[in-house]
A and B are shown apart, each in its own frame.
Chain A
Amino acid sequence: MSGAAALRLETAELPPQAEALRRELRAFVAEERAAGRLTDPTGFGMGFSPEMSRRIAERGWIAMTWPKQWGGHERSALERYVMMEELLAAAVPVGAHWVADRQSGPVILRFGNDRQRAEHLPAIARGERYFCIGMSEPSSGSDLASIRSRGDKVPGGWRLNGHKLWTTNAHRAHFMISLFRTTRGLDSKHAGLSQFIIPLNSAGVTVKPVISMAGEHDFNEVFFDDVFVEDDAMVGAEGNGWNQVSAELAYERSGPERWLSAFRLLAVVVEALGSDADREARQEVARLASHMLTLRRLSISVAAMLHAGLSPSVPAAMVKDLGTRLEQETVNRMRDLALKNGLTAPVLAELLQSGLLWSPAFTIRGGTGEILRGVIAKGMGLR
């Protein structure tokens, strides 16, 4: 599929059972709030709370689409979508289990073997085991396939050496699924790459913080010095790493995470504006809300495509490209509205500052806007 045909996207409807689930999620959020376990967000980062992750797991809202055999709940991707938007819109701190649920688990489920599934999936589903993603390196950012971290075959397993960078939550996750070059000297740089599941307490793994310009510790650099992992640590076939990473990125890119962080800022501004907001403010609020609700429809369509077993990398890249630019624009516009209307609530000032400081990261992490447009251009037959 190429050219304009690659752009056809089906309208998907949320199934009736999704609305029952939505009510359960809202009741949960209300309970957490009433119990004082859920506070208003003051930043654009995703909160990290193992306790909250376990409570969410008890409700069956992790591993929602996986087989029951592996601790999952066999619900649809569209129900999972409703879970994502309701928890994120309410700023529930889901950061501990989010990556494991969104992409590490699905990679193990799809490409792993039964031993790996039994080892990791039920623990992820219980909200007890957290993952991070090892892709970028100091010399390999957008050009991911140029990675140098290497895995060498040794008796009984692999010896890993290298250096990963920008690894969110490496300092508090239990495992990393990481991309290494396991065969060198091949014609294509996309060949010879493999993914490993690595316990972060392995001998030879060193995690060092990288503090962001927002002053926060979310990402890290991770060093691998002669780290030994068993044969069974390799997930998927040797040399299939590039395909697996591409599939994983469709999960990462198409979700509502990006524009929902901007939504929370919009919500705080709307509350501060009150009922007598002027025409300009009303127009701006409506404009941004319409952009967010449109991205929501795109996310739902992509969820439906994932559910149908497709790999919608082009629409997923569109959701992220549009969503991250909207996130940046929302921060700037809300800042202007706050200034024009003299909105001075402390929570708003904090959230605005966080948004402005985080802004550069939005269109860089998870694939820069330029890389995303390259993916889309290729899908349109331009490359």
Chain B
Amino acid sequence: MSEASALFQDVAERLFADACPLEVTAAAEAGEFPQDLWGALEDAGFLSMLLPESDGGAEASLADAGAILRAAGRHAAPGPILETILGRRLLADAGLAAPAGPLPIAFLGDGAPGPARARWGRAADLCLIVEQTSAGAALRFAEVACEGSDASFEPMDVITTAGATVAVAAGPAYEQALASAALLKSAQMLGAMDWCVERCLAFAGEREQFGKAIGGFQAIQHHLVVLAEESVAAAAIVGAALSAADDERLSLTAVARSRLGDAVDTARWFAHQTHGAIGFTREYPLNYRTRRLIAWRDDFGSTVFWRDRLAAQLIGAPAQDLWARMVQA
């Protein structure tokens, strides 16, 4: 990780530790927008971090934004944080000013799962639509109907009336925007997995059965090792994708999201199995991360979607060419 990213992560970690105790997440799941947390993120400049300095941003890299979202995921921070960070950048790239406040996003096109939905659509008057067109991407604003949520229990609202196109971008703009969203979501998943590893390690030291801490049992140690392996493996591929150049990033995003799909499933199982029954309760904080892992795994393109993408790059290769296609070099 670059020094800049590490610095962002440190600052973000402190911010979320202060401004995002579990009660904030629980209240958000009951429908209350996390206003104070939002103010703190805005004050810290995180929500505009991807904008040029001339627009009040920090000209931060995607990897820097990933560092913030990893911290957000670790704290199960609610609200359209990822969406606003990315949405402001997409509008700035199109030469448009972003509306003040939260900026929910929905993608329309390949990778959009069924009817368009936007996380926390209800938090803003209008939601940003990124639509795939034959020429590239079109940006539009849309209204939403307040309905629905997913396993995170945070709102996942339905897009109703989409307005006129406000900007178009040629070339692979849609693919790149979707890949950026998918990768930032990956960083958020890494954060949730980080928390699971740390909490499971601590829990295995605290919880006693048969007269000793359960972390002393080899079966539990092996659970924790597999959990850690999945988290380290996922971090390796997401880290590579976040710091890759634009053209390489599209392919690495598909690799990362495919691998993460399995990492998340495995990590969830081992985290819960290590905890036993207490981890299944609403009261114990584990579920705030594992429910988000369930919801986020298939956000901005499902695991199946990204595997189709990756397969398109590999299928049809003669045996001698597959290696070059895989490593893209």
* Residues of A near any B CB (own CB < 8 A): 3-4, 7, 9-11, 13, 19, 22, 26, 33, 40, 85-86, 89-90, 263-264, 266-268, 270-271, 273-275, 277, 279, 282-283, 285-287, 289-298, 301, 315, 318, 321-322, 370, 373-374, 376-377, 380-383
Contacts and interface: CB of A to CB of B under 8 A. Distances in A.
A-B residue pairs, 5 tightest by C-beta: A290-B258, A282-B311, A11-B239, A286-B307, A275-B316
Interface residues of B, number: 51
B201 interface: yes
Interface centre among B304, B308, B315 (most CB of A within 10 A): B315
Contacts of B319: 40, 264, 267-268, 270-271
B236 A294 contact: yes
Interface in B171-205: 194, 197-198, 201, 204
Contact of A11 (B215, B226, B229, B236): B236
B255 A19 contact: no
Contact of A294 (B237, B243, B254, B329): B237
Interface in B201-240: 201, 204, 215, 221-222, 224-226, 228-229, 231-237, 239-240
A271 B317 contact: yes
Contacts of A383: 221
Given A90-B323, A271-B318, A7 B221 contact: no
B237 A286 contact: no
A3 B201 contact: yes
Contacts of A282: 307-308, 311-312, 315
Contacts of B124: none
B314 A4 contact: no
B232 A270 contact: no
Contacts of B310: 286, 289-290
B327 interface: yes
Q: Which of A263, A264, A289, A381 has the most CB of B within 10 A?
A: A289
Contacts of A40: 319
Contacts of A286: 254, 258, 306-311, 314
A90 B327 CA distance: 13
Contact of B201 (A273, A274, A380): A380
B323 A285 contact: no
Contact of A4 (B1, B201, B329): B201
A286 B258 CA distance: 8
B326 A292 contact: yes
A234 B34 CA distance: 67
A380 B314 contact: no
A283 to B, nearest CB: 5
B162 interface: no
* Interface SS majority for chain B: helix
B236 A322 contact: no
A292 B236 CA distance: 12
A277 B329 contact: no
B232 A382 contact: no
B326 A293 contact: yes
A283 B322 CA distance: 16
Contacts of B323: 86, 89-90, 263, 267
A293 B256 CA distance: 9
Contact of A376 (B229, B231, B237, B259): B229
Nearest to B322: A267
Contacts of A13: 243
Contacts of A275: 315-316
6 contacts: A10-B1, A268-B319, A275-B315, A294-B233, A373-B226, A377-B224
B150 interface: no
B262 interface: yes
A318 B197 CA distance: 15
A322 B232 CA distance: 11
B109 to A, nearest CB: 20
Given A283-B307, A286-B310, A293-B237, A377 B221 contact: yes
B45 to A, nearest CB: 25
Contacts of A19: 329
A240 to B, nearest CB: 28
A373 B317 contact: no
A292 B315 CA distance: 16
B215 A289 contact: no
Given A270-B315, A382-B204, A4 B255 contact: no
Nearest to B312: A282
Nearest to B307: A286
Contacts of B235: 9
A293 to B, nearest CB: 5
Nearest to A265: B319
Interface string B289-329: 00000000000000010111111101111111011101101
B315 A7 contact: no
Given A273-B315, A283-B308, 11 more contacts: A4-B198, A4-B228, A9-B235, A11-B240, A89-B323, A286-B254, A294-B234, A296-B327, A322-B229, A373-B226, A382-B221
